[in-house]
Amino acid sequence: MTVEAIHTLGLTQLTAAVARGEVSAVEVTRAMLDRISARDGEIHAYLRVDREGALQQAAQVDRSRAAGEKLGPLAGVPIGVKDNLCTRGVPTTCASKILAGYIPPYDAHVVERLHAGGAVVVVKLNMDEFAMGSSNENSAFGPVHNPWDLTRTPGGSSGGAAAATAAGLAMATLGSDTGGSVRQPGSYCGVTAIKPTYGRVSRYGLIAFASSLDQVGPLARNMRDAARMLGVLAGHDPRDATSVSVPVDDYEAECGRDVRGLRVGIVKGMTEQGCDASVKAAVDASLKKLSSLGCELVEVDLPHSAHALSVYYIIAPAEASSNLARFDGMRYGLRVTGEDLRDTYARTRGAGFGPEVKRRIMLGTYVLSAGYYDAFYLKAQKVRTLIKRDYTQAFTRCDVLVPPTAPTPAFKLGEKIGDPLTMYMQDIFTLPPSLAGIAAANVPCGLSPEGLPIGLQLCAPEFEEKRIVRLGHAFETAIGWNHRPAGFEPTTKAHQHG
């Protein structure tokens, strides 16, 4: 194994090599840091890299191995984390000017889990400001570029996480998903991304956008790697009141299991909702492949999912309005002093927040205001319950649902930024599972005629992530997915399945 080729390995391959002593964690980390220095200027996936801290973490892994200690499941693996996850001693800004200079005194629960698993946390990834966006163009520090085509978006809000994973600038990454923010960029960048069941992974140390929706999830190059990541992250945490005490399955053990007899739900009329022809073709081909693997295809109906976009853009901004009220320049972050307290608040928030965050705060404040709460917020919560019931009913007839992840392949940077509604429509397939709180993931399923990745979404009932892993691994193995963005990875000719 050459050090130069380390970035082409999968996470599980790398941990095995480190454990056998074929390569040291320090060699791996130094190679990854050098690659980031050489290549991230084209992508802008990272906002900050802690080179010294990463090498110290790697050296500790090597010392543990030399001492004969048992290594963790992520030992020596360089992993990047989204900039809304707190990292002790390292700035955490949510890609926003309003948190300029904020250095958390503690690690998020998931960052603690990474360290405990032996991972090397190389630090903070670019994102849409406060996780509000579908293209990563809302970052206060500039957009991320998709490594498959640098003129296109990587998706959002975890665009930095998806792009870094695809381009070999991290073995795996952590993102957050409120309405599709690991799955949609996973689709655009051709990587596996899992949104766990709400409550499966602790939100402690995740800077909140919409507390009833936010969930941390892994992005990786294949389902086995993502499954190992999820196994490290999942579990109860008493510091998060929404964390659920449910046993953690051995997700990685699901890889390689037979999927014959698994009931796969096709959502009635789903690909007719503004789907690009290439997405529809890839999904149709994927269904044929699943059928050939012995899965039983079953048509199901989710009648209230058509209202998910409207429901989400009432509930999520309402929660954002409340959560972001704390950023006022009084305790930490940006402060623009005005003539009095009210003026200081106004100047600080006016200068600190970008246009999309301001848009959602205003919308959320409006729907919570006197006279409108019942008409908008309360009604949206009732429809959310109906969406959840639709999924409960659907899962009596199937084991996994397989709608598309996104209606189109990655679009051009600047193409939709001036039209918020068109931008919001990119999440029409990921919003319903988020509102229902169920498990969902993206798996790459093909390429568009332009050579851009297309994603298939796998949805399972609460705490049944193992079904997603089982089906996702079987599917990616069957289609032979091993694509890498041209210019960033040596790649074989694209596999088109039919």
Q: Which residue has the higher pLDDT, 168 or 484?
A: 168
pLDDT band at 1 (very low <50, low <70, confident <90, very high): low
pLDDT at residue 496 in the model: 36
- Of 227, 183, 230, the C-alpha closest to 202 is 230
pLDDT band at 254 (very low <50, low <70, confident <90, very high): very high
pLDDT at residue 270 in the model: 79
Q: Is 157 a catalytic residue?
A: yes
Running DSSP on this structure, what letter comes out for residue 27?
Answer: H
The tokens describing 398, both together, are 């199937």
pLDDT band at 7 (very low <50, low <70, confident <90, very high): confident
Task: Indicate which residue of 24, 96, 135, 157 is catalytic.
Answer: 157
pLDDT at residue 267 in the model: 93
Q: Is 187 a catalytic residue?
A: no
Task: Indicate which residue of 82, 195, 289, 416 is catalytic.
Answer: 82
pLDDT at residue 498 in the model: 33
To the nearest whole percent, how much of the chain has pLDDT over 70?
Answer: 97
The average pLDDT across 375-401 equals: 97
CA distance 74 to 288: 35
Number of other residues whose CB lies within 10 A of the CB of residue 478:
15
CA distance 426 to 390: 22
pLDDT tens string 389-407: 999 999 999 999 999 999 9
Average pLDDT, the chain: 95
Domains in the chain, please, with CATH? 3-303+390-479 (3.90.1300.10)
pLDDT band at 486 (very low <50, low <70, confident <90, very high): confident
The 3-state DSSP class for residue 234 equals coil
pTM metric for this prediction: 0.95
The average pLDDT across 223-237 equals: 98
pLDDT at residue 489 in the model: 65
Q: In what order do the strands lie in the sheet with 120-125?
A: 120-125, 78-82, 172-177, 215-220, 192-195, 439-447, 453-460, 400-401, 263-267, 296-300
Asked if the model's pLDDT at residue 437 lies above 80, the reply is: yes
The 3-state DSSP class for residue 219 equals strand
Asked if the model's pLDDT at residue 492 lies above 60, the reply is: no
Asked if the model's pLDDT at residue 259 lies above 70, the reply is: yes
Task: Indicate which residue of 24, 135, 139, 181 is catalytic.
Answer: 181
φ, ψ of residue 387 to 5 degrees: the values are -60, -45
The average pLDDT across 139-164 equals: 98
Cis amide leading into 305 (omega within 30): no
pLDDT tens string 171-223: 999 999 999 999 999 999 999 999 999 999 999 999 999 999 999 999 999 99
Contact 161, 125 (CB under 8 A): yes
Q: Which amino acid is at 21?
A: G
The average pLDDT across 344-359 equals: 96
The tokens describing 309, both together, are 């976009």
The 3-state DSSP class for residue 296 equals strand
Q: Is 82 a catalytic residue?
A: yes
